[in-house]
Structure 1
Amino acid sequence: MPGLHDITVTASMWASDGQYYLHGHEFDPTGFTYSGFNGLLAPLTPGNGITTPGTFAIILSGTETGPLTVTLELRATPPPSPALDPWDEIVEASLHLPEGDAFLIDAHDHTPFPSLSAYTGTPCRIRAHARGRDNAHDLGIVETPVEEHLIQIWPASTTELTEHKLTDQVGALSH
């Protein structure tokens, strides 16, 4: 897409109820069930549950309540194939965010990250990586991050959801 530049930002993100979100003005998780859920990344469309492409996404954390470290990579081109060894979970899905502003955001509508508006109105891919979710889950409420996520987003045509790696217990509990 013209005008896109690679941007990487790392920040603390607040998890509430073990999750955070990627969405714009179309966001309604009402009726979401864990049926068919991979345990990390759920592309959703209001009223339809898990769909490809989704119009928003839920990212599941092991941290029930508290901060986790999130790195957001906004990319102009697809990233290389994921390095599997450093991560416990890696899932990739297609989104078609409605035109307008969109953000990687917590349950309190707070984000430390830039707008994703350059990725709205056209299909894109999101790849979510996670490690440390089992440790965070064992603690419940945390004061300092014990869990890390990497979220990569780039323009791409719609394709099926890809589960690159699913090994942690937090994800297994959500299947």
Structure 2
Amino acid sequence: MAELLRRESGELFIEHNVFRVLDPEVMDDVHADFDETGLLVTVAGGAAVLCGTHIGTVHVTAETWSGAPPLDPGPWQDVAEMNLPWPGRRMEVWGAGYTPDEELPLAIPGPGAYRIRVSGRHRDHGEDRRAETDPMEQYLLQVWPAPHAPTTLHKATSALGARRRTEPRTGT
């Protein structure tokens, strides 16, 4: 049975509808095509997650596991997972990246083949979050060592994800 190794949680300020899981030494612009899952894509040096919020704050919980974590798509709108090759340096979750305290560290044991699963909810509210009672967009990132496997879309119910899968476009 897989064991949870570390959990970090916090709010990230994002721009351009994206936050990233990356090696901070590879701070490349994200120009990604999210048309396969409408949620998650691998990019140079990591992965990118598509959000409904263009500029604002999202809540992220990032977990590292010893093996595949239990899958519970019930409370989420969208759940996707894919391969994440990792060269063995630090892995962090980055929002807009203006200050060092905006990232969430992930404890990755070393270089190798990993999987990343991202679950998201409240993705369709986008910029319409006006009242304090409107739910904040939320994401759960789970990373674990695993051999190469096909990209899997476990759940796909958000309008945002559906638009990106049916109207593919390059870039964020």
Please report the TM-score for the alignment, with normalisation by the length of structure 2: 0.80
Match of 2:80 in 1: 91
Residues 16/30 of structure 1: CA separation in 2 closer, same or farther (3 Å cut): closer
Matched, 1:23 2:25: no
Runs (4 or more) in structure 1 with deviation over 6 Å come to none
Counterpart for residue 113 of structure 1: 104
Secondary structure at 1:38's aligned position in 2? coil
Name the residue aligned to 2:92.
Answer: 103
Pairing 1:14–2:13 present: yes
- 1:138 aligned to which of 118, 121, 128: 128
RMSD: 2.5
| Greater strand fraction, Structure 1 or Structure 2 | 2
Paired residues in the alignment total 158
Q: CA deviation at 1:169?
A: 0.9
| Mapped pair 1:159 → 2:158 | no
**Which consecutive unaligned segments of at least 5 residues does structure 2 have?**
166-172
Note if contact 1:96-1:122 (Cα within 8 Å) is conserved in structure 2. Answer: yes
Distance 1:31 1:134, change over 3 A: closer
TM-score by length of 1: 0.78
- CA distance, structure 2, for counterparts of residue 156 and residue 27 of structure 1: 25
- Going from structure 1 to structure 2, the CA distance change for 1:172 and 1:138 (only over 3 Å counts) comes to farther
2:112 partner SS: coil
Identity value in percent: 26
